[in-house]
């Protein structure tokens, strides 16, 4: 895969004194307790991939990667998902670079955009998106950044549409949110022939993303933007509505639907407004698929309410599996080939790991 040129170096971040073990000991990195099959620490492993996120949640990544490590004979290797403060990214990525055990790993919520500052090279698609979700550490210690989120999501949406006898190309998809994952999904959807409408609480964020997409593809019609007050109108014209915001994620916004504005302590108002949106969509001849990338093993309010109204839904697990397969191949593809294994083998193992469910 062709790579863009090296990013501007930041001399300070590589001089940070703390080691990876010190960051764990000091609590700057903590193993996620809610993630399935996640080791409690990095102790005892000789080869590590470390997804880093800003909050703990029931992720499937460790289960998929660790199942692959066991199946394909990666002795003393582990995928350990950690939660950390993005404000300490300099120390974190310096420790990753200095530690020979670190082979790369995922970049999740809170880190997808800021991680680009600490990379030596970025894949062209990831550079256009402005965010990465996987880092590969070269033998010379350099960091390469890629983004497999968007492609992984689009694959899952195309499969869901196919079940209905529908296609993605030429259709509108509404994206609720404007962060790193929104960037990845929006760019990938347009690359596959869709149009996107980006709606966000902070309209300026949605506008910036829409204009970047327009500039990249050279067409103003491929992306539009607006605020949360436009959800019902835009959703009525869409083939799918996908939530990439924190509404429904574990934490302060867990009890809120992404289909309506949210204010702290006003869960009922939010859900009542979301129900009105869903009921209007249910009346359409071809209602949109309601999708929420936050849902992996546990239902979100957005999808739970959509199912109650009889609408087709799509969670985030398919995206997680699809991007996980691609990411694993980026980090370990050469080792797998040497062992005689293929991407198809990885897919089989990772799908089985998530089918086992929580636990």
Map tokens 């992306």 to a residue: 223
Q: Which residues contact 255 (CB under 8 A, 6 or more apart)?
A: 267, 301
Instruction: Quickly list DSSP for 94-134.
Output: HHHHH-TTEEEEEB-TTTTTGGGGG-SEE-HHHHHHT--SE
Phi (first) and psi of residue 105, to 5 degrees: 160, 175
Distance between CA atoms of residues 291 and 36, nearest Å: 22
3-class state of residue 343 by DSSP: helix
At residue 143, φ and ψ (nearest 5 deg) are -105, 130
Residues 60-103 pLDDT 10s: 999 999 999 999 999 999 999 999 999 999 999 999 999 999 99
Domain 165-311: state its class.
Answer: alpha beta
Nearest alpha carbon to residue 98 among 161, 39, 18, 28 = 18
Tokens of 310: 């009889």
Per cent of the chain over pLDDT 90 is 85
Q: How far apart are the first and last CA of the chain?
A: 36
- Residues 171, 172, 176, 177, CA torsion sign: positive
Give me the pLDDT at residue 249, please. Answer: 83
Instruction: Answer for the pair 97, 23: CB distance below 8 angstroms, yes or no.
Output: no
Rounded CA separation 119/343 (Å):
26
Fold match flag (13-147+318-355 vs 165-311): yes
Say yes or no to pLDDT of 9 above 80.
Answer: no
| Top CATH class, 13-147+318-355 | alpha beta
Question: Is the overall model pTM greater than 0.85, yes or no?
Answer: no
**CB under 8 Å to 70, separation ≥6 — which residues?**
none
Q: How far is CA 61 from the centre of its chain?
A: 11
Domain ranges (residues) in the chain = 13-147+318-355, 165-311
The per-residue pLDDT for 26 is: 95
Residues 6 or more apart from 323 whose CB is under 8 A from it? 133, 134, 148, 149, 151, 152, 153
Beta-ladder partners of 313: 290
* 355 closest CA partner among 87, 67, 121, 155: 67
Q: Name the average pLDDT for the chain.
A: 92
Q: Give me the pLDDT at residue 203, please.
A: 97
Span 137-150, mean pLDDT?
95
């Amino acid at each position: 895969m062709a790579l863009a040129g090296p990013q501007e170096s930041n001399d300070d971040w590589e001089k940070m004194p703390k080691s990876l073990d010190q960051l764990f000991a000091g609590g700057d990195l903590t193993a996620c307790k809610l993630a399935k099959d996640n080791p409690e620490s990095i102790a005892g492993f000789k080869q590590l991939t470390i997804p880093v996120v800003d909050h703990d949640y029931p992720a499937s990544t460790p289960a998929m990667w660790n199942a692959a490590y066991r199946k394909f004979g990666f002795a003393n290797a582990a995928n350990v998902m950690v939660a950390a403060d993005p404000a300490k990214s300099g120390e974190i990525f310096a420790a990753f670079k200095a530690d020979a055990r670190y082979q790369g790993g995922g970049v999740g919520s809170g880190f997808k955009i800021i991680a680009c500052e600490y990379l030596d090279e970025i894949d062209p698609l990831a550079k256009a998106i402005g965010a990465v979700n996987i880092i590969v550490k070269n033998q010379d210690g350099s960091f390469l950044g890629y983004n497999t989120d968007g492609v992984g999501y689009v694959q899952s949406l195309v499969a869901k549409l196919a079940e209905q006898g529908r296609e993605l190309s030429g259709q509108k998809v509404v994206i609720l949110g404007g962060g790193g994952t929104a960037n990845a999904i929006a760019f990938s959807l347009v690359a596959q022939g869709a149009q996107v409408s980006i709606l966000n609480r902070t309209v300026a964020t949605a506008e910036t993303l829409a204009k970047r997409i327009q500039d990249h593809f050279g067409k103003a019609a491929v992306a539009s933007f607006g605020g949360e007050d436009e959800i019902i109108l835009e959703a009525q014209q869409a083939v799918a509505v996908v939530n990439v915001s924190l509404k429904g994620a574990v934490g302060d916004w867990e009890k809120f639907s992404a289909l309506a504005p949210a204010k702290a302590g006003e869960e009922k108002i939010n859900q009542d407004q979301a129900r009105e949106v869903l009921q209007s969509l249910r009346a359409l001849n071809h209602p949109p698929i309601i999708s929420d990338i936050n849902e992996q093993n546990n239902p979100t309010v957005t999808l739970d309410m959509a199912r109650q109204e009889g609408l087709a839904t799509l969670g985030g697990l398919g995206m997680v599996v699809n991007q996980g397969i691609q990411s694993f191949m980026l980090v370990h593809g050469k080792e797998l080939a040497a062992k005689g294994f293929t991407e198809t083998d990885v897919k089989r193992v990772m799908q089985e790991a998530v089918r086992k469910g929580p636990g």
